[in-house]
Amino acid sequence: MSLLKHLSCVLILTLSVLTGAESANGYYMRWNRCIYSSPDLSDMVYIDNFYINKFLFTQFNSTVGRFVGFSKNGMSLAERWNKDIFVIAERAGVDIYCRYYVKSKDTPPREKTVKPKVMLSSVKQAGGRHPAVLMCSAYEFYPPHIKVSWLRDGKLMTSEVTSTMEMADGDWYYQIHSELEYIPKSGEKISCVVEHASFNKPMIYDWDPSLPESERNKIVIGASGLVMGMIIAAAGLIYYKKKSTGRILVAN
């Protein structure tokens, strides 16, 4: 399993190499890291840390381009290394070590486009102004840039629409959700439009308000029970009125 699998939820990859050695004065350790978040590796940062007894005393950061000391001895060592050929090799580390390693070992989906999985659903609103709310959700797509819009009878909806930002959902994929609040009308057609690099044209997903058979059965059963209850209640009321007026006949 690649390192991206472990760290995809934060979209930062850290490749580390640890080396250490015992000496009479303590334990020395060197820790190299490559950190990036962009798919094209343009923001790659190479960091080389030097520790003694778990204390960071000198560090090289490719964004700074030189060694920096964090103690008196560390600053003295950093000054000497910055005048040495060692610093030239460190500056090349971002390309020779980081980008080379990532390109040769890492195989995330960033080099290709992944089509989103789109789902339309009706959601319950909490105190909204409109009786109906639709949600259009797109999952597991790459790259992250995507556009979600709504059509009502072929016309673009510009109001009563709320959308989330693209959110990472793991494994370098993204998700987005858009809601439409509206007042339903008979015979209307509402669609969610998704535009993404994985499509050669905008994809239109029509909302189907029809319910599954199981849901229809629940409604029929509920309606039947309601009608039966109303009939029984009406019969009881008629019986009570007749009895109260003395028009109830009692058989011998």
Q: What pLDDT sits at residue 203?
A: 95
Residue 251 falls within a domain, yes or no? no
* Closest alpha carbon to 118 in 183, 177, 73: 177
Q: Which amino acid is at 223?
A: A
28 and 71 both lie in a single domain: yes
In a shared domain, residues 118 and 91:
no
Please list the residues that pair with 47 across neighbouring strands.
33, 61
Contacts of 95 by beta carbon, 8 Å cutoff, 6+ apart:
none
CATH number at residue 122: 2.60.40.10
Amino acid at site 197: A
Residues 141 and 187 in one domain: yes
d(CA 116, CA 226): 43
On whether residue 252 sits in a domain, the answer given is no
Query: What is the identity of the amino acid at 30?
Result: R
For each of the chain's 252 residues, which pLDDT tens digit applies?
333 333 333 334 444 444 555 555 567 788 888 887 777 778 888 989 898 887 888 999 998 999 999 988 889 999 999 998 888 888 888 888 888 877 776 554 455 788 999 999 988 765 556 578 899 999 988 888 899 999 999 999 887 788 777 787 656 788 999 998 888 888 899 999 999 999 999 999 999 877 554 444 444 455 555 556 667 766 666 666 666 665 544 444
Domain of residue 16, CATH code = 3.10.320.10
Residues of the domain holding 151:
111-206
User: pTM to 2 decimals?
Assistant: 0.43
Q: In the structure encoding, which two tokens stand for residue 215, read together?
A: 């849901």
Instruction: Classify residue 72 by burial, with Cβ atoms within 10 Å: 0-12, 13-18, 19+.
Output: exposed
Same domain for 121 and 103:
no
Same domain flag for 7 and 101: yes
Residues 21 and 103 grouped into a single domain: yes
